[in-house]
Structure 1
Amino acid sequence: MSFADLHRAGRPLLLPNAWDHASAAVLVAEGFPAIGTTSLGVAAAAGLPDGTGATRAETVALARRLTPLPCHVTVDIEGGFSEDPAEVGALGAELAALGVAGVNIEDGRDNGRLADPAHQQELIAALKSAASGLFVNARTDTHWLGTGADPVGRIRAYQEAGADGVFVPGLTGEVPIAAVVAAVDVPVNILFSPSGPGVARLAELGVRRISLGSLLFRAALEAVVRTVHAVAAGQDIPPVPGYADVQALSSPGTAGAPPAPGSPAAPR
């Protein structure tokens, strides 16, 4: 099944986001057919700030490591790492040549403002022109940045520019989610939030893709802190993957390690 088809068949595509090869490989081993990258995880792992365009090299390097895995890979390219449509298009072509199935491009900028929608249309069109088979998920940060702006006009403009899907992170209310779904003809992506609707309800609202964003990366950091304090306090720690399991994640020709001890089965 193609990456685009995963947005149309059955339940919404639940897209977990990885920050390195091991985190992606273990998710593939759990049966997820597509893996996204998290720009926060990639940036923080490299000791760099997120959303400032500082991680182009790290993002491409990660894509190169992930594409040999038996799954579709979609890459978070922040705002495109350039305001020049030609450079953004070149990045899309480079990623497509590596075997990347899709990219996520956002209109939020590091000054806390939104890009001009007409200019963002140029960046989206450049990606589609440079790599026609690339699934371009166009993200608007109206809610993520708390601008108070209506996302509908922006997502419609991005659809017109050729976006294959649209993404409104920070949107959690059922009424505005349904309004976004009704406003466009392309699949709508929502960022999972513990305070928002669950997967089943999002499916009923017409959402076709549910991203986890940086959630897994942040959960991993919390597990690091919790585990070290448990050891220091002489407390029991939950089962974790063994050395051989982690080694297997990078073994040539393997799809990843066996599921981690105690992990629930993932939807396939």
Structure 2
Amino acid sequence: MTDQITRAETFAALHKKGDPVILFNIWDAGSAGAVRDAGAKAIATGSAPVAMAQGFGDGENIPMEAALDNARRIVAAVDLPVTLDFEGAYASDVLGVAANVERALETGVIGFNFEDQIVGTKDLYDVETQEARVRAMREGCDAAGIPAFINARTDIFLKAKPDTHSDDMLDDAIARAKAYAEAGASGFFAPGLKDEALIARLCDSTELPVNIIALPGTPDTATLASLGVARISYGPVPYKQMLGWLQEQAANALN
């Protein structure tokens, strides 16, 4: 447990506004080793690539036990902090969230992505409900004795086209960041947000380290750093790029 606590503390310290930690998301022990060898300071799973690599769709379709077994193999394969994309923690009620987080920490992971989307729907939990869920996740971490990094994610921007992102939507996100911080979140994740002015305002509005995903059309690393971003992740992009390369190579060999 001491090593796990040390890795959790090391991971948290990597989050610096203006000097973002880069997380090139992986899906299994092999891809984790490749990213480690490329110079990564930490390893992050992505829920979509983990599921797709095992023949499942995203959205908690891969059974939790399979996802945790995969996480356990990744932790054993790399001597780096490993953070788990845990989607909605495979539970809607707070007791289930806390219990599942404790089980996940037994794999050796030191952090979580935790989203406010109601998995399997197009809706988000209201702020109060998700605040309670974040608090339950923190309580689960505390019960396990691990100061895990909870990257509280909002899906506000993913659910709308980038050209419709507005100040009102950002106000909603800022309110969520405040509530999640009070509940024990360690960071705030706004996937899909690409507008520089909105990103800068979000970073200025919260003490939480802000995570932006490097989807096509997102500002580059240097620009995101200048806006105050503390964490840049890549989500399903590496897996999809790898799959495209694999298909191309297979087509060349088979035709």
Structure showing the higher helix proportion among its residues: 2
The residue number in structure 2 matching 1:190 is 212
CA distance in 1, matches of 2:136, 2:18: 31
1:47 deviates by 2.0
Q: Is the 8 A contact 1:54 1:81 kept in 2?
A: no
Normalising to structure 1: TM-score of the pair? Answer: 0.82
1:48 deviates by 1.9
CA distance in 1, matches of 2:79, 2:31: 14
Normalising to structure 2: TM-score of the pair? Answer: 0.86
The residue number in structure 2 matching 1:121 is 131
The structure with more radius of gyration? 1
Give the unaligned 5+ runs of structure 1: 234-268
Among candidates 98, 103, 107, match of residue 98 of structure 1? 107
Indicate the RMSD between aligned Cα atoms, in angstroms: 1.7
Q: Is the 8 A contact 1:43 1:55 kept in 2?
A: no
Q: How many matched pairs?
A: 233
1:63 deviates by 1.3
CA distance in 2, matches of 1:53, 1:228: 28
* Residues 193-216 of structure 1: per-residue CA shift (max 9 Å, x gap): 231210011001000000100111
Q: Secondary structure at the match of 1:83?
A: coil
Q: Which amino acid aligns with 2:159?
A: L
- Greater shift in the superposed pair: 171-180 or 52-61: 52-61
CA distance in 2, matches of 1:232, 1:84: 50
* Aligned-pair identity (%): 36
Is structure 2 residue 154 aligned with structure 1 residue 134? no
For residues 150-189 of structure 1, what are the structure 2 equivalents within 5 Å? 150-189=172-211
The residue number in structure 1 matching 2:6 is none
The residue number in structure 1 matching 2:31 is 23
Give the unaligned 5+ runs of structure 2: 1-8
CA distance in 2, matches of 1:59, 1:123: 20
CA distance in 2, matches of 1:54, 1:32: 26
The residue number in structure 1 matching 2:82 is 73
Is structure 2 residue 153 aligned with structure 1 residue 144? no
1:230 deviates by 2.2
Q: Which amino acid aligns with 2:95?
A: A
Q: Is the 8 A contact 1:53 1:78 kept in 2?
A: no
CA distance in 2, matches of 1:9, 1:139: 17
